[in-house]
Amino acid sequence: MHRLRFHVAYDGTDFHGWQVQPGLPTIQGMLEEIIGSIEGKPVDVIGSGRTDAGVHALAQVAAVTIENPIPPDNFRRAVNRLLPKSIRISSVSEVALNFHPRFDALRKQYEYRIFREEVCPPFERHYVYHHPYPLNERAMIEAAPLLEGEHDFTAFAAADERDALARSRVRRIFHSSLTRSGNLLFYRVAGSGFLKHMVRNMVGVLLEVGKGNFGKDDLLARLQPHCGIRPGPAVPASGLFLVSVEYDEA
């Protein structure tokens, strides 16, 4: 028995997110089906986090424990041959049996892309949020770093079935920035972990700053514990990418 860790990239457009859902196509469900066919019995594929429907990944990290002695590189080739072209495993390595992609992760990075021109090319529509309307981009750029640090992000989190467990909604954001490159605004954020819809709500609040509806104080108010402010507005999933997940490789 051995445990394999692998990086997987996917176009989330045609999937109902990462997590298995009965009767619906999901990334986790597709991987478990394909790897299970190689193993000859059901398997559990665990990811570093649950991306939502329509969200993409450049390097999601997942792991599976199998009995098949197939070498890591042969595993990659075999799985990629059977996966749809919208999902691809880029690298595989053997890890300790107790490795957990979510609990062992130290840092995750996301990127959100906003297309700013009047006409969005049709081949880009699934990978950006098209917002051609006036924005004070300078105000958004100045507000983005205010999200850095350790805060209670309840006002940026959608309701989750795990809320019943009363887990902390405090997260540490290491980096939060907004930049303009060509016809795109890029929001990049790295943190210790993220709540459901958290990044999409963060971008939504920054957009409200750009529209002049919120000021910096409105953003900071949402970071106060027990502020009672309802989350939102959330931007669409199409512009969001999971860029990387980092671990203590030692």
Active site residues: 52
Q: Please give the Cα distance from 163 to 184 (Å, whole number).
A: 35
Tell me phi and psi for residue 90, to 5 degrees.
Answer: -100, -30
Tally Cβ neighbours within 10 Å of residue 204.
20
Residues 6+ apart with CB under 8 A from 150: 170, 171, 172, 173
Closest by CA to 194, choosing from 156, 221, 230, is: 156
Distance between CA atoms of residues 22 and 41, nearest Å = 18
Q: 181 - beta bridge partners? A: 184
**Residues 6+ away with beta carbon under 8 Å from 125:** 238
Q: How far is CA 38 from CA 67, 78, 79, 135, 153, in A?
A: 10, 8, 8, 51, 41
Distance CA 219, CA 208 (A): 10
**CB-CB neighbours of 147 under 10 Å:** 23
Q: What is the CA radius of gyration of the chain?
A: 19
In this structure, which amino acid lies at residue 88?
R
Which helix (H) or strand (E) segment is 189 a member of? Answer: strand 184-191
